[in-house]
Amino acid sequence: MAATITCPTWHLSNVGASVRPKQKPRPPIWLGGEVEPAIRRAGRLADAWLGSPTCDFTQLAARMEWFEEAYRASGRGEPGPCPVIRECFVGRDEAHARSASRGPLLSKYQAYAAWRHNDTGQKNALAEHFDDFCKDRFLIGDAARVHDQIVQLGEMINTDHLVMRVQWLGLGQVEVLGNIERLGGILGRL
């Protein structure tokens, strides 16, 4: 697959990628999307839909159905599992998990709300209802709770990949490393 690449200061002809994918015929293609037309487009074109961290578990399951319906309608058979992104903080206990993650996550999601992101609601109201907002969206709690949330998520939707966001602006490095260590302990038991 040779191409011509031109830039104001240089020109290359007959160039191509020398590193080829290990998977045959190619790596799986994951497409994201938040709204129904984008998710259905992913069902028609991609191998998987990358589930958003901003929708709650019920919304995630409904959106997964949109993807699966479009996938089947494309004539490619049954869809395989899809990856899901989740914010995740495993605290030393429940109180630590909530207190350590609340400020950084609230700041992040208030920014999303200011951008009028679909699933975040109003920026000013988010602070008042943030615990409810997090409850069925994020994996936050002590090790037992996060373990149960991961199992619940796996039972609700067809997934075998969880992309865990474990670090956010405002979360100190010591907290991040502790979170990763505690999460590793959970994943080692699944």
Q: Where are the domains of the chain?
A: 27-187
91 φ/ψ sector (left φ>0, alpha ψ -120 to 50, else beta): beta
What is the structure's pLDDT at 124? 64
Name the one residue in this structure whose structure tokens are 């979360």. Answer: 171
Q: Is the peptide bond before 53 cis (omega within 30 degrees of 0)?
A: no
CA–CA distance, 138 with 122 (Å, rounded to integer): 18
Q: Specify the pairing of strand 3-7 against strand 10-15.
A: antiparallel
What is the structure's pLDDT at 6? 62
CA–CA distance, 51 with 87 (Å, rounded to integer): 12
Low-confidence ranges of the chain (pLDDT < 70): 1-7, 117-124
What is the structure's pLDDT at 120? 61
CATH fourth-level superfamily of 27-187: Luciferase-like domain (3.20.20.30)
What is the structure's pLDDT at 123? 55
Beta bridge partners of 50: 32
Report pLDDT digits (tens) over 88-118. 999 999 999 999 999 999 999 888 888 876 6
What is the structure's pLDDT at 17? 74
Positive or negative: CA dihedral 125, 142, 180, 158 = negative
